[in-house]
Structure 1
Amino acid sequence: MIPNPAIVQAVEQLGYRVTVGDVAAQIGLDVGQAQQGLLALASDVGGHMQVANSGEIAYQFPQNLRGVLRNKYWRLRLQEWWQKIWKVLFYLIRISFGIVLLVSIVLVFLTIAIIITATNRDGDDRGDRGGGGFYMPYFWIGPDWFWVFYPDYDTRYRQRRRETSNLNFLEAIFSFLFGDGNPNIDLEDKRFSLIAATIRNNRGVVTAEQIAPYLDDLGEGYAQEYEDYMLPVLTRFNGQPLVSPEGHLVYHFPELQVSATQQQSRRVPAFLQELPYRFSAASSGQIMLGIGLGALNFVGLLVLGNLLADGLAAAQLGGLVAFVQGVYGLLLAYGVGFLLLPLVRYFWVQRRNRKISDRNQRRQARANLLASSDLVLQQKIAYASQFAARSTITKDDVVYSTDSDLLEQESQNPAQIDADWQRRLSGSP
């Protein structure tokens, strides 16, 4: 199986020499999964385990591990190829909705012009020269119409506007219709990464109150009083509860106390803050233009529907008019959906954002309680500090590595090996 991409990325970010705790803390991954993933990755790319005299293990990986993986797994090469293809396909999908809108407007008003022109011609043939005609606004035929295709359309076409968008017109139409995705799609990974960083900053021992600002469902009554909400954290990072003499619980995470490199405390926010949904990344000018074009298209469809209602125009004129009548239902469905979908999505975004705001406020309230800790919490933190520790596996601490033969290592460092065995035989830690 292809190694976990998140583990590969974590190893690269951490300098190719890591412990299980390093990887688990970096990406918020389950300790067991991190260990299995590192073992599998080391096996695939020829990595090595380095055992310290304390029994802790660091993993050393080659600098070109991604290239090794790419050469070994054809599926990985296929995935990278597909990602490149998908970027192009997705871009074409995004701009297609704007193209369909413009095509619809052109078809609708061109068909209206043909029908009205034919009607006026028939009137002229009958001697009715009342001066009828069809006027198409300059906006649709003038050169300024093509400015909407420029990526910096909002800057070029509206120089006086302060708000700009990185989207061109066609991309803005997609954003107006469907938004820009879930801003919290990686929320769980972010949550446990912050929790792991908090544990590490407190040198491997924390209280439940220090973790609560990053969690959501704390339960009520018995579950909250007895801190059942800590169970997923304990399971994920292989922690264990400790009971103070006063009967308070603190939580110890040995794997997160060990690192392969010297690391500074990581800055973490006081609480987990979810990002609100944006209605659209398009500028307000682009949104107003989209609404205007959608309304123009819808009004044109209503007018065209009235002209095509009896079917005589399509039967007499044929050609484009007959084609438009055949696809009129699709054009009308698109026209209605173009206006209705953003309206429904607007109220959906407002509802989701209210829930996100409520969760953020609850987590912030827990962070405020932690900041103004009472005597009980201070006692718990003081008790937890007794078990706090932070150790780094340096190359000087390594007594055995899988990159060379054991006998060779013993001959190079016999005193260290002998001392290590004597300590193990005597039962010393």
Structure 2
Amino acid sequence: MTPNLRIMTAIESLDYRVTVGDVAAQAGLDVKVVEPGLLALATDAGGHLQVSESGEIAYLFPKNFRGVLRNKFWRLRLREWWEKVGRILFYLIRISFGILLILSLIIIMVAIAIIVISINSSSERNDSGGGGKSSGGGMAFFPRFIFIPDLFDLFNWGYYNERYKYQGERQKYRTSGKENKMNFLEAVFSFLFGDGNPNYFLNEERWQAIATVIKNNQGAVVAEQVAPYLDDLGKGYTLEYEEYILPVLIRFNGRPEVSPDGQIVYHFSELQTTAKEWNNQPVSAYLKEKSWRFSEASSGQIMLATGLGIVNFVGALVLGSLLKDGTVAAQIGGFIAFVEVIYPLLLIYGISFLVLPLIRYFWVQWRNDKVEKRNQERQKRAVALNHANNLLRQKINYAKEFAKETIISSQDLAYTTEKDMIKQEVEQVDKINVEWQRRLEESDTENIS
């Protein structure tokens, strides 16, 4: 069984002594996943079980348990190696799109320059042979004196605009104490595809927040205290009978308790057992999804990428007009013949470079509208909880009757795998004898008095 990395991280953050409830709350994991996971880790990493006199179990792990597991499991070593390699590969993929843009621009510009020079050379030879074709020479010079300067003016506009924006961005990050580390090649990828889902870990955050709310209320809550962290609660019968809390009960092994007035509260005994005293943790009033961003690149980088994309697209159109009859490529051959073969790819890339971000821009707006609606719904539930009516306050007060915290202290252990079994039995007998001796002394004192 490959170790669960989330459980391992939770153990480290909880100082290596944990209960099932501690890890489930810290990692937001199902208790049915945590319990066998902790047993497996204790077996494989040399951890110890500590059993209290009431039968509750705590797990104690050595601080080097991750290294022990790494030496034992080749899959764990492979995963760590792949994470390192994967970061490098993903970085190369990210910058490859910027390299492709620059390479496409160079190919297009060089091809246009070669074709224009070839046309002009041919025109000059024709002019030297006779003056009757001077009008043809004027047409041949059109791309040279009209198109080429326009292209490079646009390129320079992008460069100077980027330089101006970069200075502004540097000032902004300097005053905010942050630093924009994304280079231009990475910014091209960000411009095309964005920077990933900002809510990738939303479900993990959801369960961590719910577990924290339950732990802060010592293992007993009402449905309204959990509702601000859930999505659609349903309607009608589903909402009235609080069916939306079933996934929470299943995940954290909770059970409903019914008050004399018929109100339902929820009791989570697994989350009431802890290895050390639980101090209430801050938790947001409701689960707030982050808005999607078009790009994490600076505005200057986005404008430069857009400008170069336009240059690339216009250049591809001009190159296509020069290659359309096929005679130029046949006459010049070599590099131009190669460009004619790959021209469809250059054109498709030029179109995609501008169309894809445009489509994604509207898609981001649509996604953010959905995100905002869900956030508003959760916020309404949080507000309703803060302004609880008498009926809701009665439910919360009834839930407090089930609230408690069981701390597994190192001093009150009935058994631990850290010590020899026979030695522990002897210690247990000694403790019993000491207790009986104390009671006998107290009884004798009472009889004398």
Contact 2:162 2:300 in 1 (8 A): yes
State the match for 2:346 in structure 1: 331
Contact 1:399 1:416 in 2 (8 A): no
State the match for 1:194 in structure 2: 209
State the match for 1:249 in structure 2: 264
2:224 maps to a residue whose letter is E
- Note the alpha carbon deviations across 1:29-76, whole angstroms, 9 max, x for none: 101111011011111111111001121100001110110011001111
State the match for 2:420 in structure 1: 405
In 1, the alpha carbon distance for the partners of 2:78 and 2:87 equals: 14
Number of aligned residue pairs: give it: 416
How do residues 41-60 of structure 1 correspond to structure 2 at under 5 angstroms? 41-60=41-60
In 2, the alpha carbon distance for the partners of 1:358 and 1:154 equals: 36
Tell me by how many angstroms 1:126 deviates.
Answer: 1.0
Tell me by how many angstroms 1:263 deviates.
Answer: 2.6
- Note the alpha carbon deviations across 1:118-172, whole angstroms, 9 max, x for none: 001001001156593736559969xx99999xxxx96887324455532111000
- Note the alpha carbon deviations across 1:80-122, whole angstroms, 9 max, x for none: 1111111111111100101100111111111111111100100
Structure 2 residue ranges without an equivalent (≥5): 128-133, 174-179, 436-449
- Note the alpha carbon deviations across 1:359-392, whole angstroms, 9 max, x for none: 0000000000000000001101111111110121
Q: Say if 1:224 and 1:292 are closer, same or farther in 2 by CA, change over 3 A.
A: same
In 2, the alpha carbon distance for the partners of 1:163 and 1:324 equals: 43
1:393 aligns with 2:425: no
Which range moved further: 78-87 or 196-205?
Answer: 78-87
How do residues 222-261 of structure 1 correspond to structure 2 at under 5 angstroms? 222-261=237-276
SS in structure 1 at match of 2:257 = strand
2:117 maps to a residue whose letter is T
1:55 maps to a residue whose letter is G
Larger Cα-atom Rg: 2
In 2, the alpha carbon distance for the partners of 1:20 and 1:397 equals: 18
State the match for 1:159 in structure 2: 167
SS in structure 2 at match of 1:118 = helix
Contact 2:162 2:303 in 1 (8 A): no
1:285 aligns with 2:300: yes
State the match for 2:144 in structure 1: 134
TM-score scaled to structure 1, two decimals?
A: 0.92
2:94 maps to a residue whose letter is R
State the match for 2:380 in structure 1: 365
By percentage of residues, which structure has more helix?
2
Q: Say if 1:29 and 1:322 are closer, same or farther in 2 by CA, change over 3 A.
A: same
- Note the alpha carbon deviations across 1:16-39, whole angstroms, 9 max, x for none: 100000000001110111101101
Tell me by how many angstroms 1:417 deviates.
Answer: 5.7
1:356 aligns with 2:381: no
In 1, the alpha carbon distance for the partners of 2:158 and 2:92 equals: 19
State the match for 1:203 in structure 2: 218
How do residues 5-404 of structure 1 correspond to structure 2 at under 5 angstroms? 5-127=5-127, 128=134, 132=141, 134=144, 136=148, 158-161=166-169, 162-163=171-172, 165-404=180-419
Contact 2:165 2:299 in 1 (8 A): no
RMSD: 2.4
1:47 maps to a residue whose letter is G
1:7 maps to a residue whose letter is I
In 2, the alpha carbon distance for the partners of 1:418 and 1:247 equals: 49
TM-score scaled to structure 2, two decimals?
A: 0.88
In 2, the alpha carbon distance for the partners of 1:115 and 1:138 equals: 17
1:302 maps to a residue whose letter is L
State the match for 1:425 in structure 2: none
Tell me by how many angstroms 1:176 deviates.
Answer: 0.4
Structure 1 residue ranges without an equivalent (≥5): 421-429
- Note the alpha carbon deviations across 1:248-290, whole angstroms, 9 max, x for none: 0000000101111223111000000011111000111111111
Which range moved further: 200-209 or 130-139?
Answer: 130-139
Contact 2:162 2:304 in 1 (8 A): no
- Aligned residues: percent identity? 55
Tell me by how many angstroms 1:413 deviates.
Answer: 3.9
SS in structure 1 at match of 2:167 = coil
In 1, the alpha carbon distance for the partners of 2:184 and 2:27 equals: 37
Contact 2:158 2:307 in 1 (8 A): no
